[in-house]
Amino acid sequence: MDDLLTVEPFRFFTRDAFRAGWYLVWRQLVRIVPLAVGALLIGGALGGLGMGIFGAVVGGLGLCAASIWGALLIPRLASQWAVAHYGYPLTGQARVWWAIVWRVTVVSFIAAVILTPPNFVALSLSTAYKGAVLGGFGKLLTAVLGLVNFAVAVLSTGWAMSRVTALQLSGLPVALLPLALAPIVTEPTPLPAPAEAVSFETPAAVAASAPLTMAAPVASPAPMAMPVALAPAPPPARGPAAVEGKRQCPKCGLYETERGSVIGWYCTICGWREARR
């Protein structure tokens, strides 16, 4: 029977949940934020040119496109995270999207209910005490609560991703995972048994009837000398008698010279030429 994969979901307030949520959130924001900001800038520019209605339409369509794109990125990024951590993608994009979104929505609603009184206090202080210390404290409290809401959104996203991944991957055979991620089970290789010493015993009857004698060594024939081919003797140097009528080259010392009607004496070997005055 194949081993089954066991995936445990992350607890909510853990570092693993925050890292998983940050994996999805920052990849989502880096895509949709430029689109939303660009749509708002184009809409504002059109409004400044006197086309306010057309600018509002363009800005609204850009924000809608950014929202739809962000929703479509959720299952794809969650599947990429599952592949990076467990080696197996998530199936069913609509099912993955709904499983993550409804969990994040529930957690965000609970967090909003809990943080409503502090938000009301911060808004009251910043409104009633403008320019005073309490007003500054109210603004600081508002900023802190905004960071808390963002942290809760990241934690809820990572926790929801881990829950969906655990529901899909738990119970799968490990053999379906890639070889690089599947656990490798190595069995010890048995060592070969030492070779037993084999003893040969000579029968007593054979030893008594014919004692063993050592055979005389056979003399090997002496190696034969291979004939060596002698190189032919170089031809004798051509002396002055053999090169009558030719001038000796002062550069190479040979008699391979010729006399031209225009350039005079020259050597056909080294290229020497007679200096003409």
The 10s digit of each residue's pLDDT in 104-127 is 999 999 999 999 999 999 989 888
Asked if residue 161 and residue 244 are part of one domain, the reply reads: no
Residue 1 placed within a domain: no
pLDDT digits (tens, 9 = 90+) for 4-33: 667 788 999 999 999 999 999 999 999 999
Asked if residue 156 and residue 69 are part of one domain, the reply reads: yes
Contact 255, 249 (CB under 8 A): yes
Phi and psi for 265 in degrees, rounded to 5?
-70, 140
Average pLDDT over residues 134-159: 92
Residue 39 placed within a domain: yes
pLDDT tops 80 at residue 74: yes
**Max alpha carbon distance in the chain (Å)?**
134
Number of domains in the chain: 2
pLDDT (0 to 100) of residue 191? 55
Asked if residue 113 and residue 27 are part of one domain, the reply reads: yes
pLDDT higher at 216 or 166: 166
Domain encompassing residue 151? 15-176
Asked if residue 20 and residue 121 are part of one domain, the reply reads: yes
Residue 132 placed within a domain: yes
Asked if residue 244 and residue 171 are part of one domain, the reply reads: no
Residue 95 makes CB contacts below 8 A (sequence gap 6+) with: none
pLDDT digits (tens, 9 = 90+) for 230-273: 555 554 445 444 456 777 888 787 888 877 666 677 787 787 77
Average pLDDT over residues 189-210: 50
pLDDT (0 to 100) of residue 119? 92
pLDDT (0 to 100) of residue 258? 79
* Partners of residue 258 on adjacent β-strands: 266
Q: Of 103-107, 179-183, 202-206, give the range with the top mean pLDDT.
A: 103-107
Residue 261 placed within a domain: yes
Residue 175 makes CB contacts below 8 A (sequence gap 6+) with: 2, 182
Contact 119, 142 (CB under 8 A): yes
**Given 176, 193, 227, which residue is the final one in a domain?**
176
What is the C-alpha to C-alpha distance for residues 47 and 40, in angstroms, rounded to an integer? 10
| Percentages of the chain per state (helix, strand, coil), in multiples of 5 | 55, 5, 40
Asked if residue 259 and residue 147 are part of one domain, the reply reads: no
pLDDT tops 80 at residue 175: no
pLDDT (0 to 100) of residue 173? 66
